[in-house]
Structure 1
Amino acid sequence: MSHDELMPIGAFARRSGLTSSALRFYADSGLLPPAEVDPVSGYRYYSADQVARGTALRRLRELAMPLVAVEAVLGSGADEASRLLDEHVAKVVADAAAVRRKAAVIKASLGEAPGLPVAAVKGPVLAAAVEQVLTATAPGHGMPALAGLRIEASPEAVTLTATDRYRLSTRTLVPAEAPRQTWAGTVNGDELRTAVVEIRRSPLVRLEAASNGIWFRVADQEDRHCRLLTEEFPDHRLMLASLGEVTTRATVSKGLLLRALEEHPGERVGLHVADHAVNVAAADGEHPGVTLPATVTGQALQIWFELTTLYPAVSTAIGPDVLLDLRGHDQPVTIRSADHGDLTTLAMPVNSDRSA
């Protein structure tokens, strides 16, 4: 190849977006050797065919990918290169999360007064409850409190609550040791999801309130700190207290109801409750409903939900059967286990108009 068909290092640097010094480094490392080196002057020349590799190399390094991984990506086919990229991104995200956690712990300990003991709860029980209730949060909707989990401790119990305005989930735990005083705070949901990993592994977790967060003290492991949200949490107690009288009650198999919802053809689902059955119907009226055997008391009722509201409310219920307490077609339905009622979810219905 003649020099007329080659680019000097400066021109190739402009085409590829790499600096001349970076090109010399990558040439010496074997990742991007020049097409030709003048034996007298030592000038390096590159071909137009090398621009794509140079550009890809620059982009991969912008992702902070190590040279060994860059070489593997550049030498792989599309599928393997994609897998390696996903693997690298997952590691970067995990490393960033670890740094955030450590920074939060350091910040929380800077000039921090001794924490206020709140309660002690069994770790596996607390972790399971947090995961169940957090399904009712709504991250990224412009209302920070809806992305958090409300923790309330009293001398009798520890209560966890979350809401996305369409669902409200609450679970009450019996503490392993009686809470020493009343305390309430709304905990950052994302940080709590991460903390659950360590909480689950500890037989006993001690909750300790600090000025800007809450500590989860665990034996023989790293304590976890989660920030408190300053925004006001919705008045869920008023909502619960204002619920009307239950007019219809149905007990149905959780597994059968979930299967019917999973196979449901639309975004809106109707529950027709009557005559020892719950019928799961589609809003378009064209698809036949699925009739599930149920124990029903009270008035016959038709009520409609968004699938995205009803499905998680049912899926997080504990036990083989779910109990539905209904108050009318336009009132919240209470969904809980038929025989294990400490997890309760309220699901808001939608307009029954099929054209809506």
Structure 2
Amino acid sequence: MKSSQPPAGPKAPTIVTVAAAAGVSPMTVSKVLRGTGRISAATRQRVREVADALGYVPNGLAGALSSQSSQIVGILIPSIGDMVYAGVLAGINAVLVPRGFSSFIGETFFDPENEARLVRTVLSLKPSGLILTGGLERTAASVHVLRQSGVRCVQLWDGDRPDLDATVGLSHRAAGRAAADIFLSRGLRDACYVGAQLDRDLCAARRMEGFRQRLREAGGRCRVLADEALPRDAVTGQALTAALLAEGPPPEAIHYLNDAMAIGGLRALLAAGVEVPGRTSVIGFNGTSLRHAIQTRLTTLEVPLHEIGARAAQALLQPGEARTDLVDFQIVPGTTVRP
């Protein structure tokens, strides 16, 4: 009978390991890391430096667990409020919950320092595994701790830059190029990419670059309109599109960072009297708008969110060397691109 327990990785450093390397007792290490006891400043500094160098993470369960790991799986995503990650979480839990695992979910908000803090928090719980979303610049400290933890780690979403023990995601560059090809096949070469937070969401930035590069290869042009301070929602899509229209005639084609921004963009185009798709064609990304379409059906690149989550959870539970599992997206024709 196969065990659902993830395979053991490298042995994680323990408090005994830190104590031996620092030349002190395990009790001294415990007091230093808890900030208690009468211990000299020099000893405290030495113990902390050794602990950091070894990638040691204190057990946040304070000895409550008798085994080496719990039935907790840590899941770090940008935002629970994002429909994309809600779908991914559903896929993860569909695999893990029947096997008796519980999820510890943290929101990184595409902030590497926040992710670093959450990584240490989750690892302190001695989890069975950890699933992290790629597409952000992970700190060197996070990378070091993850490598030294002995916990199996799977990266979500970012198939262009595989990392950790396994990666399950898609090629965002290929998705951007596919969106450009849709426009090019209709003879549309004057395009704009509308997004937000591209400085933090590196997957979205790769989609933009793939889109822009493909258009340029075909002799087209692509303007990028993005605001790094605004959220990636319909309100932002509407505001940025209104600003684009205020500057002059609309482009032939607009590719939005996600479906939510595309819906906001369609509102702005409609309010300005711009005919879609007669004057301007529109493409979204991720497919989250499809279930809500009534009359206007957004042309989009649909991503199998539940499948990505399920395959990431399965990768967490399966032994083996590092591998990359690329998931295919699907072009879903709608009524927002010129036929």
Instruction: Report the structure, 1 or 2, having the larger strand content.
Output: 1
**Alignment TM-score, normalising by the size of structure 2:** 0.25
Greater radius of gyration (CA): 1
**Alignment TM-score, normalising by the size of structure 1:** 0.24
